[in-house]
Amino acid sequence: MKINALALNCSLKKSSGKPSNTDRLLDKAREEYAALGVGFMSLRIADYNVLPGTKSDMGEGDEWSAVLEQIKACDILLLASPVWVGHHSSLAQRVIERLDALFFEKALQDEATGQYLTYNKVGGAVVTGNEDGAKASAFRFLAVLSNMGFTIPPNAFTYWVGPAGSGPSYIKAGGPQHLFTNRAMKMMVHNTAFMAELLKANPVPTNIKALSASAKEESDSGAQTFLSQ
């Protein structure tokens, strides 16, 4: 069964003729996935009009559904972002907010088990910036993806940043030849690919509905009426 990876590039810039720094690093991941027979697609969030909100459909003009369809179709999701003021981009946070719907909308959950549609998919993170903030960004991505139903294998992120303070970015600084970043990228690709195949053959059996019912029995239900995270 063919495995497919999807990268969501949360650069602040729309795609145009010239590649972004994050794109360049994603291209390396694409090649590495290809060598393993894994498909790869990259979307630029800035190319879509993703409206603010936490529902999967925010009404007129909202283009999130096009992104969500690709997330549904993928086996591996890589959140990719530049760093601004020590932090992932507002567009990356926008993606996370829109995924919040997983916790609330029945249409995004399995009817029998209550699993979110992200269960049995694998998560990873790719970050580029010209200065410090990559780990804060990547670590947040990995944890949020796990919270949202993805499985995170070992060493599931890669990043590039230059030394302290602003300076040349990934491409200009020779980042594509940076050993640490290339090595981490390869580990991410191999580990996410392995885990995606493993979960495809062995899906998580957890029945969230049954566990919720069991939790209700031992809880003071009067104190709380909402369940989702």
Under rule CB under 8 A, which residues in 27-56 are in contact with a copy of itself?
Answer: 46, 52-54
Burial 3-27 (b: 16+ CB within 10 A, else e): bebbbbbbbeeeeeeeebbbbbbbe
Q: Of the candidates 22, 30, 44, 162, which one interacts with a copy of itself according to CB under 8 A?
A: 162
Q: How many CB atoms lie within 10 A of CB 220?
A: 7
Q: Kindly state whether residue 223 participates in binding a copy of itself, applying the rule CB under 8 A.
A: yes
Binding of a copy of itself at residue 166 (CB under 8 A)? yes
Contact residue for a copy of itself among 27, 47, 135, 171 (CB under 8 A): 135
User: For residue 147, what is the enclosing H or E element?
Assistant: helix 134-147
Q: List the one residue out of 133, 188, 158 whose CA is nearest residue 24.
A: 158
Query: Least distance to a copy of itself from the beta carbon of 102, Å?
Result: 10
Question: Candidates 16-24, 64-72, 105-113, 115-123 — which segment interacts with a copy of itself by CB under 8 A?
Answer: 115-123
Residue 57 within binding range of a copy of itself, rule CB under 8 A:
no
Q: Residue 132, interface with a copy of itself (CB under 8 A)? A: yes
Q: Using CA atoms, how far apart are residues 125 and 51, in angstroms rounded to an integer? A: 23
* DSSP structural state of residue 37: T
DSSP character at residue 170: T
The binder of a copy of itself chosen from 33, 40, 48, 150 (CB under 8 A): 150
Q: Establish if 109 lies at the interface with a copy of itself (CB under 8 A).
A: no
Write down the least CB distance from residue 39 to a copy of itself, Å: 20
Q: Measured at the alpha carbon of residue 154, what is the angle toward residues 149 and 160, in degrees to the nearest 5?
A: 100
Binding flags for a copy of itself, 75-94, as an x/- string (CB under 8 A): ---------xxxxxxxx-xx
